[in-house]
Copies of this chain bind each other. A is one copy, B any other.
Amino acid sequence: MSVAIENFVKAIYNNNSHDAHNTKPGNIAKKLGISSAAATDMAKKLAAKDLLNYEKYQELQLTEKGKKMALNIVRKHRLWEAFLFKMFDMSLHDIHREAELLEHQTSDLLANKISEYLGNPKFDPHGDPIPNSDGKITTTDTSIPLSQAEEGKTYTISRLTSDDKEFFEFCANHKLKYGHEIKVSKQFKNNKMTELSGDGNTILLNENFTLLIYVNETN
């Protein structure tokens, strides 16, 4: 399967798991940087290959075959992220960009070697779960976006769900990293802002970022 097809299937999968669930061609097109017309064409083509169900004007739905394919690519992406993160001193954003390309050119054999080398990790450096070699995700995620965290409580960062360079630069500068602890000192509900405190510093995040950072309450 081509890179274009793999990316299309992956975009639908990611759209379903993260964001809202508008999986119509136009929305997928936006994420891939192609025209809606191209996405409609592709959707028809992939329906013919039994990778998704397509009906005019309806949402696109991956078939089992499509999901399996998506999970295989997602696995490779996240393994590359974990591997590059461990081996090299590179920013999360750079790592993401490399993984985005390498994922399509990686055999199952190599993916398994990488996984084995890393001790079959269950999460990548963004906190996203890594599907196993059968394409199954065996972890459950109970984390909430920072926007919904409660004042006064302490949380552990479980996911950084973005691929925006500025976001990662900000995170790196403020020690917002997968696994790190943070304290929510205030929630400004009306203004949709969240205040974090720690080490004598205070930072104030707006919803652009608090929707991207997922946390679990620390016990």
Contacts and interface: CB of A to CB of B under 8 A. Distances in A.
Interface of A: 84, 87-90, 94, 97-98, 101-102, 104-107, 109-110, 113-114, 117
Contacts of A88: 110, 113-114, 117
Q: Is the interface of A mostly helix, strand, loop or mixed?
A: helix
Nearest to A84: B110
15 contacts: A84-B110, A87-B113, A88-B113, A88-B114, A89-B113, A90-B109, A90-B113, A94-B109, A98-B105, A98-B107, A98-B110, A101-B105, A102-B105, A104-B105, A105-B105
Contacts of A113: 87-90
A107 B102 CA distance: 10
Given A97-B107, A101-B106, A102-B106, 17 more contacts: A84-B110, A87-B113, A87-B117, A88-B110, A88-B113, A88-B117, A89-B113, A90-B109, A90-B113, A94-B109, A98-B105, A98-B107, A98-B110, A102-B102, A102-B105, A104-B105, A105-B105
Contacts of A97: 107
A19 to B, nearest CB: 26
Nearest to A88: B113
Nearest to A103: B105
A88 B87 CA distance: 14
Contacts of A107: 97-98
Contacts of A84: 110
